[in-house]
Structure 1
């Protein structure tokens, strides 16, 4: 396995959206196209699977009793004890051809999240901002929104359209999480092999990006320089997350989608979730303010 171990051997067609809750030592993640949410204690134990009945891609903590779940129909409040879902704010609910994708909570408590076509149709998605009951469209005509993450001071946001393969950074209002000014190019991988997928940003301002198609996580310095690559034992690495009481470990999800029988034989760990054998200076996700 090299520099990684298997965190969960549950195979996901499209593993995505890992999010760690330090209060319960639990990692949550999703098999988007299968409508499943998975959870497992980082300290060990079995992987629990929740059938959601619709495509879902992200989760955030509201408080000790509630979570906010992002699905193809919108934002739902989930009772952490019972798993019961209740609609909180519809998002593109009448558009059956789109679904949710990447999301992350800004230090202010605002949520940035993306939508996309269920068949990754060009320009069918968008990136939204949600905060205290208000929803705003930030960036329309996005094909595959990913890499949403923020600096610890809340003054900078990052995102990508994987279909274009440019990672952008944009100044933010630290109190609201709203962008200020126009996005600027941060990493340009147009024409390169591998896609810019999910990202997290550590306390040192280093951005850790899952490289779809090349089986690795790439680390980028605050000025956009490529620092290092860490191998992932699955070609379609999709999204990292910081885990552990000190947020000093990194897990990454992966996907088996689109691989034929021969490709799956060549990529036997496709769709599993991994713990990387590196130490990171990570941080826990803020709670979302609904």
Structure 2
């Protein structure tokens, strides 16, 4: 494993949701509070950014080359060529205090994502699945949602309540969840965004935990990847061999630490031994 390398000192207030776009050979990620969508192209070092209509929790690639973005109030289609966001589907019109936060694409092309109270004071967050044009609420009562992601065999879905420092696990069968249980608790930071490697090891960003925690399929803490900044929000596998781990960070809640940690909010990369799983595309 290599040392963490800063690849873009983007100064994101709340960097989140890194995702590898294999077609473009680029990493997409968001700054939720900054209402910005970013793209980094490793081969050229090219950096590009777009303003989002509101707070943007995730941006995930779709089969038609667009991105589906979780913007406060609904799902949007983003066209990278025109830079235009277009509303696909309103979400949680009954919970105007909420925003969307983190998402995942399953192998069947369905989109899973969570919501949360923007003030992080009320447990109104929920877990959703969007497939075949239908939106289904699968779980409810979260403080701050993060994830989800699936095990390599697709039989276990992991989802976090970050306020509780808790990684939850569900049995998963063709979009149906059951047997909700606690998989792990992170004591050295708040369990933020999760990603899965090819061997079934869960990688969990640690907000205020200085890195990424690694958990075995049995829920055992088996190590950590350390970063030089304390607020790591999510790590995602990228590169042609899926062994480049891209980590988003944030200065939200730690503005007073920016003197000692001037690259808080930057995008980092770590070279790892075990590859991740290929990024699935949303089926529109």
Tell me if TM exceeds 0.5: yes
1:23 is matched with which residue? 23
1:187 is matched with which residue? 184
Q: Number of matched residues?
A: 283
* Conservation of the 8 A alpha-carbon contact between 1:238 and 1:255: yes
* Conservation of the 8 A alpha-carbon contact between 1:108 and 1:177: no
* Conservation of the 8 A alpha-carbon contact between 1:5 and 1:277: no
1:1-290 to 2 correspondences below 5 Å: 3-93=3-93, 95-173=95-173, 176-179=174-177, 181-189=178-186, 192-261=187-256, 263-290=257-284
Q: In the TM superposition, what whole-angstrom CA distance separates every residue of 1:231-272 from its partner, at most 9, and x where no partner exists? A: 1121000001111011111011000112243x2112221100
SS at match of 1:172: strand
* Conservation of the 8 A alpha-carbon contact between 1:107 and 1:153: no
User: How much has 1:205 moved relative to structure 2?
Assistant: 0.4
Greater shift, 234-243 or 90-99, is seen at 90-99
Q: In the TM superposition, what whole-angstrom CA distance separates every residue of 1:108-150 from its partner, at most 9, and x where no partner exists? A: 2111101111111230211111111111111111110013110
CA distance in 1, matches of 2:144, 2:123: 8
Greater shift, 23-32 or 61-70, is seen at 61-70
Could you tell me which runs of 5 or more consecutive residues in structure 2 were left unpaired when the two chains were aligned. none
CA distance in 1, matches of 2:255, 2:59: 30
SS at match of 1:163: helix
User: How much has 1:152 moved relative to structure 2?
Assistant: 2.4
SS at match of 2:82: coil
* Conservation of the 8 A alpha-carbon contact between 1:68 and 1:78: yes
RMSD of equivalent CA atoms: 1.5
* Conservation of the 8 A alpha-carbon contact between 1:152 and 1:203: yes
CA distance in 2, matches of 1:111, 1:65: 15
CA distance in 2, matches of 1:216, 1:242: 15
User: How much has 1:94 moved relative to structure 2?
Assistant: 5.7
TM-score for the superposition, normalised by structure 2: 0.95
TM-score for the superposition, normalised by structure 1: 0.93
